[in-house]
Structure 1
Amino acid sequence: MTVLELRNVTKTYKMAGGGTFQALRGISASFNAGELVAIVGESGSGKSTLMNTIGGLDSDFGGEIIYEGKNLAKYSTQELVDYHKKSIGFIFQNFNLIPHLNLLDNVALAMTLSNIDQKEREKRAKQLLEQVGLGEHIYKTPDEISGGQKQRVAIARALINDPDMIIADEPTGALDAETTTIVLDMIKDIAKSGKLVLMVTHSERVASHCSRVIRIDNGKLLDDVEQEQVQFLSKKTNDNFQIKNMSVLNAFRLAVLNMKAKFGRNALVALGSSIGIMSVVLMLSLGKGVTSYVKNTMNSYTNPKVTEVHKSSTTKNSNMSAKATGDSSTQAQANQNVLSSLTGTGSDSTFTKKEISKLAKLKYVDKVQKGFSTISLGTTSVTYNKKSASIIQLQTMSSSVTKSNITRGHRPGKNEILLDTGTADTLGKNIVGKTVTLTMTVNSKQISKSFKVAGTYSQSSNSSSATVFARYTDLQKLYKENGATLKANVIYLTTKDKEQTAKVKTKVKKMGYTGSIQETMTDMFSDMLSIITDVLTAIAAVSLVVSAIMILVVLNISVVERTKEIGVLKALGARRKDIRRIFVSEAFLIGFSAGALGDAVTYILSLIANHFSQSLFSINVVALTPKYAIIGMLLSIIISMLAGLMPANSASKLDPVDSLRKE
């Protein structure tokens, strides 16, 4: 039964300096099942080139190599892959076993590439290893066995998918005489089982064991002699195996085995990469920790259910714009408007009934309070027993002032005020309960009125700015008594649930209003901290570039080191996609390891930093969240895989013939 037919096969190489070299010159022959054919010739005669073309490793040839009725030169990429997997097996002179795989995995490799179930491929590999006398050594690596044993492993690997043909390239060239005989007997048995065996050799002794001898010289077929009649014992059985393409899972498994083989180097690469990941995650966590502390501190003395609404910011901005662009009279008016805005007396700063009504109708708002706030420009003071304290800010009481704000005393009642702790200390240690005189400007005239000090107020652990709180109704009455009308320049919106407050604040901002000065300062500090965090994170991210370059270099070195391995994989039927997957999987493993290590180190550092910050300041300065840990992990994996794409692509493009020649 004819298995393979050569029809006027030619092969021409282009020379580096120009010109061509014809390695094969019209080779024609046919080969039958069960034949053991020796292809004999001196070095450079073309026998290896012929084997490469028959083996499908080189499809750029002239003429025809017919297998199953079709010329190999016209095979598609997938057809060539299938040809390598189920139709042909290779036995190499130098064994070409993969050093970091044990004998079982080496033999099962072709079935791994064919995506055969693990149990089935291990069972088949064990049977073949036992058949070649290595059943007791299946978990050893190639460097733990002799040369003859390595060649027997190579024979078992060639038979794993039960192919029609076996190509043996100088299979006894690296063996002693005794081992040569053993190997030749095994190869003869393979031919008797019904397979076509093509054996390249320059040894007449080896050729004498073959059923047929073909001699080649200078690319031409000189002689074709049948030495004995072929009698084979059985037929092929490879139809029992369903050949598929290698799965991503099997590519990942091979990558894991490859990583284990170079564990020390890969661990150092992962460690180096983890430093960049740790730096980025630590900067993000530090920024969040500090920002959260600032926000919590600023918000701890405000009622979380109250939204403070102002109009003054927009007025100031427009006035400042007018001041910058107008003539002298416009600038003067702008100055007055800014002054009115600061003191809270400007018409653009106050709320109309319509605006208050609109705010009151917002969803989630349960209560609306009018308020008044003014910045004193040296005209407001509090006097007690000939001691006087200047007041910077006069405000009305609202729900935003909580019990935690009042350090002594209680909320002010009728004709009562609340002093900040600094002002209270200036006037006297026991000022609470005493009557003081409040001097202020109403309707362009200086007036004084007596108030009782209900308590003291503090907005933080330190003394706040000089501030007086009075009831809105008391100020309203005072203004009326002096021929003026008090207009609300602050509105307080109260909700039942603090989670609804955020929604109200968002809506208020969309309406063009601003929040409290405290909120504005909080936002300003938060923005500043965000910018600082981004800058520090960007600086830390520079190390990620170094990590990517390091991974790129290591994987490129790996490609060079494993060039022959890549050639073997392609000879066994690995697709370019399979090679890429293996190397990209290795990059993924490096990235995952670096990310995990970086997150772990960051977590440990955060515990240490927070331990000291709690002891010194009672705060957690580093806020490592799952989000940042995941960002670090993803960043590490993405950078590693991007760095691994170029080496993976280079590996997939390696020519199998050149790869197998690599020393």
Structure 2
Amino acid sequence: MALMELKDVKKTYKMPGGGTFLALKGINASFDKGELVAIVGESGSGKSTLMNAIGGLDSDFDGQIIYNGKNLADLSTAELVHYHKKDIGFIFQTFNLIPHLNLIDNVSIAMTLSDIGESTRKKRAEELLRNVGLGDHMYKKPDQLSGGQKQRVAIARALANDPDVIIADEPTGALDAETTDVILDMIRDIAKEGKLVLMVTHSDKVASHCSRVLRIDNGNLISDNQQLTLEHTVNEAASNYEIKNMSLTKAIKLAFQNMKAKLSRNLLVALGSSIGIMSVVLMLALGKGVTSYVSKTMKSYTNPNITEVHKQSGMQANATKQDPSQMQNMSQTDVAKQQQNNIAALLGESNANSFAKKDIAKLKAIKHVDTLNLGYSTLTMGTNTVTYDGKKANMMQLQTMSKSISKSSIVKGNAPKGNEIMLDRATADTLDKNLVGKTVQVTMKVGQKTITQDFKVSGLYEATNGGLGISSTLFFNYDALNDLYKQNDQELKPNVVYLYTKDKANTKKIKDKVKDLGFTGSMQEQMSEMFTKMLDIITWVLTAIAGVSLLVSAIMILVVLNISVVERTKEIGVLKALGARRKDIRRIFASEAFLIGTASGIIGVVATYLLGTAINTFTSQAFDVNVVAITPQFALTGIVISIVISMIAGILPANRASKLDPVEALRKD
């Protein structure tokens, strides 16, 4: 039984303007192992079309090309891939070597596509290169070789997977006469080793070296002559290993080799793309840094083990309970009334913000709360005054002491006890630089009454870290203030509660529970939340603006990969002829996009770290604060975003490359 048989093979092309052209008109022939067959014909005779069909590059034909009992036209995609990898090898007129790979990698590329191990590939490639006389040139690139040497590499590549059939398309067309004879001797030796060699040529001189000559003219086989018999020899270089599909790991390695060939261009692309990543990460880091600074500053005013609790104002409660549209429908009279109630509560003239016993019980029952202290705080709007030695100071706020006021905030003296008060330092200095321990006269509003009474100044308060503490504040001990109210037949109702926990790790849980119960935190916390929300909005807006540059990066990567497809069209054709699947081609180009994305992400993150360090150095010296906080999460996010954008940009070029027709790709100049 013949190794390959052609039965009434016809090939029809559709013409661009309509109609058809019959390129092959019923070719019949059979071939056996060990034959060196010349297929001779002028340009346009149909010989190359026949070779493309026999080589499995074009399965759209009528008739049958039977190889080992199977019609090539009926082979599945997987079977056709195996046919390219194992059963057939190509030797091209223009060599079609991959320029950025050395000779070993060029010869072993078919084995790479077959997922053969590296050591086996290298050993086989070295053996074949020595057999064709290139043992001293294995690590050279194709552009360092002569035409004859390049064709020897192409012959070695065709033999890499030890195929049964070799198709040589004008293998001597680009060579001088002397080199032609050397190459023809090599091809003849291949046939002698038992392989079927089909050589396309238009030269009768080349055909004279073959054992059999088929002549084609105008799509017809006009003659089939046997002219000599080859003496067969034993093939000692045969390979025997399992042919598989190329793994993702090998696709990435191949992509990395491709990237190195255009290293300068790819680095510039990665650098350009990194600008967008740097902008996004920097905006996130700036937002994080500034937010952390604000939060840290606000927290510095209070004890981390203390949770300060307030009742919601009437307006806050309504905003929480009512639909926004209902709030908008409130009459002006209702709004004005609510505002008056809020002002009365702030001035201590209303009990709307006071805690009832049931409220205190709820707070005391919160898990992890070890101690509950009552407090009182109100704006006095200047109705309270402190007088000393003829000098008077208007007090804007009255507040009771609590553990939330850290010891470091009392810059002089001690916290007040009994018939004592504490003043803020700025107010005290307006009366006397050494006011601690001295007695002052205080005029203040107690409930509905205004009293005047002498108190000893126990200490001075000042907000830590140069914070924005409220000035003109009069501090009392809560129990002492409660007694003062009772002495004047008034009732002091607490409007602030302090929850203390021994473990500050529990503070957040307590604050969350407080909010769940419908209460609010301290003024500092509310301001901190407000600033944090504002900063978050600003951060995301700036990040979104910076993200526009990512679109530019994606377009740039898309353009570069498209250019790469155009530049490497013939290389893609060679890979397909050697058995590369569409998936393999997609993987190679997707891997290149992945590598560009990874490189740009890393460059962008490193650049952000350097720029952030420079910014922090300046702000630390100028304002004693670091405003850029780059976290590992931000760095990882930047790299991931870069990879995702690059992969998305690489989808179209990868698909385009995978869909290239191998016949058309190999014709590309």
TM range (shorter): over 0.9
1:288-299 to structure 2, matched below 5 A, reads: 288-299=288-299
Counterpart residue type for residue 97 of structure 2: L
Question: What's 1:16 paired with?
Answer: 16
Q: Are the aligned partners of 1:422 and 1:464 in contact in 2 as well (CA < 8 Å)? A: no
1:195-344 to structure 2, matched below 5 A, reads: 195-234=195-234, 240-313=240-313, 315-316=315-316, 318=318, 325-327=329-331, 330-331=334-335, 333-344=337-348
Cα shift readout 1:329-384 (whole Å, capped 9, x = no counterpart):
64554233212332244333111212211211211111100111112233222222
State how far apart, in whole Å, the 1-side matches of 2:473 and 2:209 are: 110
State how far apart, in whole Å, the 2-side matches of 1:62 and 1:451 are: 113
State how far apart, in whole Å, the 2-side matches of 1:643 and 1:41 are: 46
Residues 329/20 of structure 1: CA separation in 2 closer, same or farther (3 Å cut): closer
Cα shift readout 1:272-316 (whole Å, capped 9, x = no counterpart):
111111111111111111111111111112100000111134554
State how far apart, in whole Å, the 1-side matches of 2:253 and 2:339 are: 75
State how far apart, in whole Å, the 2-side matches of 1:327 and 1:201 are: 98
Counterpart residue type for residue 526 of structure 1: T
State how far apart, in whole Å, the 2-side matches of 1:267 and 1:331 are: 63
Residues 329/606 of structure 1: CA separation in 2 closer, same or farther (3 Å cut): closer
Q: Are the aligned partners of 2:554 and 2:649 in contact in 1 as well (CA < 8 Å)? A: yes
Q: Aligned-pair distance for 1:237? A: 8.2
Question: What's 2:479 paired with?
Answer: 473
Cα shift readout 1:48-104 (whole Å, capped 9, x = no counterpart):
010001101111111111112111111111111100000000000000000000000
Secondary structure of the corresponding residue to residue 520 of structure 1: helix
Question: What's 2:158 paired with?
Answer: 158
Question: What's 1:346 paired with?
Answer: 350
Question: What's 2:544 paired with?
Answer: 538
Secondary structure of the corresponding residue to residue 475 of structure 2: strand
Secondary structure of the corresponding residue to residue 620 of structure 1: coil
Matched, 1:483 2:489: yes
Q: Aligned-pair distance for 1:429? A: 1.4
State how far apart, in whole Å, the 2-side matches of 1:401 and 1:52 are: 88
Q: Aligned-pair distance for 1:421? A: 1.9
Q: Are the aligned partners of 2:36 and 2:210 in contact in 1 as well (CA < 8 Å)? A: yes
Q: Are the aligned partners of 1:324 and 1:331 in contact in 2 as well (CA < 8 Å)? A: no
State how far apart, in whole Å, the 2-side matches of 1:297 and 1:54 are: 79
Matched, 1:378 2:382: yes
Question: What's 1:39 paired with?
Answer: 39
State how far apart, in whole Å, the 2-side matches of 1:145 and 1:128 are: 17
Question: What's 1:607 paired with?
Answer: 613
Q: Are the aligned partners of 2:314 and 2:338 in contact in 1 as well (CA < 8 Å)? A: no
Question: What's 2:368 paired with?
Answer: 364
Q: Are the aligned partners of 1:319 and 1:338 in contact in 2 as well (CA < 8 Å)? A: no
State how far apart, in whole Å, the 2-side matches of 1:595 and 1:8 are: 58
Q: Are the aligned partners of 1:576 and 1:652 in contact in 2 as well (CA < 8 Å)? A: yes
Unpaired segments of 5 or more residues in structure 1? none
Q: Aligned-pair distance for 1:624? A: 1.4
**How many corresponding residue pairs?**
663
Secondary structure of the corresponding residue to residue 390 of structure 1: strand
Q: Aligned-pair distance for 1:227? A: 1.0
* Equivalent residue in structure 2 for 1:435, among 419, 439, 464: 439
Q: Are the aligned partners of 1:420 and 1:464 in contact in 2 as well (CA < 8 Å)? A: no
Moved more, 286-295 or 47-56: 286-295
Question: What's 2:628 paired with?
Answer: 622
Q: Are the aligned partners of 2:314 and 2:342 in contact in 1 as well (CA < 8 Å)? A: no
Cα shift readout 1:413-456 (whole Å, capped 9, x = no counterpart):
11212211221122221122222222222332322222221111
Secondary structure of the corresponding residue to residue 455 of structure 1: strand
Counterpart residue type for residue 652 of structure 2: M
Secondary structure of the corresponding residue to residue 506 of structure 2: helix
Q: Are the aligned partners of 2:315 and 2:338 in contact in 1 as well (CA < 8 Å)? A: no
C-alpha RMSD of matched pairs (Å): 1.8
Question: What's 2:55 paired with?
Answer: 55
Residues 508/238 of structure 1: CA separation in 2 closer, same or farther (3 Å cut): farther
State how far apart, in whole Å, the 2-side matches of 1:237 and 1:174 are: 28
Matched, 1:455 2:459: yes
1:513-528 to structure 2, matched below 5 A, reads: 513-528=519-534
Question: What's 1:657 paired with?
Answer: 663
State how far apart, in whole Å, the 2-side matches of 1:505 and 1:99 are: 67
Counterpart residue type for residue 473 of structure 2: T
* Identical counterparts, % of pairs: 63
Counterpart residue type for residue 181 of structure 1: D
State how far apart, in whole Å, the 2-side matches of 1:327 and 1:158 are: 90
Q: Are the aligned partners of 1:103 and 1:138 in contact in 2 as well (CA < 8 Å)? A: yes
Cα shift readout 1:206-225 (whole Å, capped 9, x = no counterpart):
00110111111111111111
State how far apart, in whole Å, the 1-side matches of 2:553 and 2:202 are: 50
Counterpart residue type for residue 203 of structure 2: S
State how far apart, in whole Å, the 2-side matches of 1:195 and 1:416 are: 111
Counterpart residue type for residue 54 of structure 2: I
Residues 295/326 of structure 1: CA separation in 2 closer, same or farther (3 Å cut): closer
Residues 535/428 of structure 1: CA separation in 2 closer, same or farther (3 Å cut): same
Secondary structure of the corresponding residue to residue 156 of structure 1: helix
Q: Aligned-pair distance for 1:617? A: 1.8
Residues 572/316 of structure 1: CA separation in 2 closer, same or farther (3 Å cut): closer
Q: Aligned-pair distance for 1:659? A: 0.2
* Equivalent residue in structure 2 for 1:506, among 512, 516, 521: 512
Matched, 1:420 2:398: no
State how far apart, in whole Å, the 2-side matches of 1:431 and 1:624 are: 47
Secondary structure of the corresponding residue to residue 520 of structure 2: coil
State how far apart, in whole Å, the 2-side matches of 1:319 and 1:161 are: 77
Q: Aligned-pair distance for 1:317? A: 5.0
Residues 124/329 of structure 1: CA separation in 2 closer, same or farther (3 Å cut): closer
Moved more, 604-613 or 13-22: 604-613
Residues 481/333 of structure 1: CA separation in 2 closer, same or farther (3 Å cut): farther
Counterpart residue type for residue 478 of structure 2: Y
Secondary structure of the corresponding residue to residue 115 of structure 2: coil
Q: Aligned-pair distance for 1:627? A: 1.2
Residues 28/456 of structure 1: CA separation in 2 closer, same or farther (3 Å cut): same
State how far apart, in whole Å, the 1-side matches of 2:467 and 2:491 are: 35
Q: Are the aligned partners of 1:315 and 1:348 in contact in 2 as well (CA < 8 Å)? A: no
State how far apart, in whole Å, the 1-side matches of 2:208 and 2:591 are: 48
Q: Are the aligned partners of 1:323 and 1:335 in contact in 2 as well (CA < 8 Å)? A: no
Q: Aligned-pair distance for 1:328? A: 6.5
* Equivalent residue in structure 1 for 2:638, among 632, 642, 661: 632
Q: Are the aligned partners of 1:39 and 1:213 in contact in 2 as well (CA < 8 Å)? A: yes
State how far apart, in whole Å, the 2-side matches of 1:207 and 1:329 are: 108
Counterpart residue type for residue 102 of structure 2: N
Q: Are the aligned partners of 1:192 and 1:231 in contact in 2 as well (CA < 8 Å)? A: yes
Moved more, 189-198 or 230-239: 230-239
State how far apart, in whole Å, the 2-side matches of 1:398 and 1:499 are: 20
State how far apart, in whole Å, the 1-side matches of 2:35 and 2:327 are: 102
State how far apart, in whole Å, the 1-side matches of 2:609 and 2:301 are: 31
Q: Are the aligned partners of 1:10 and 1:22 in contact in 2 as well (CA < 8 Å)? A: yes
State how far apart, in whole Å, the 1-side matches of 2:302 and 2:250 are: 59
State how far apart, in whole Å, the 2-side matches of 1:239 and 1:354 are: 89
State how far apart, in whole Å, the 2-side matches of 1:257 and 1:661 are: 24
Question: What's 1:464 paired with?
Answer: 469
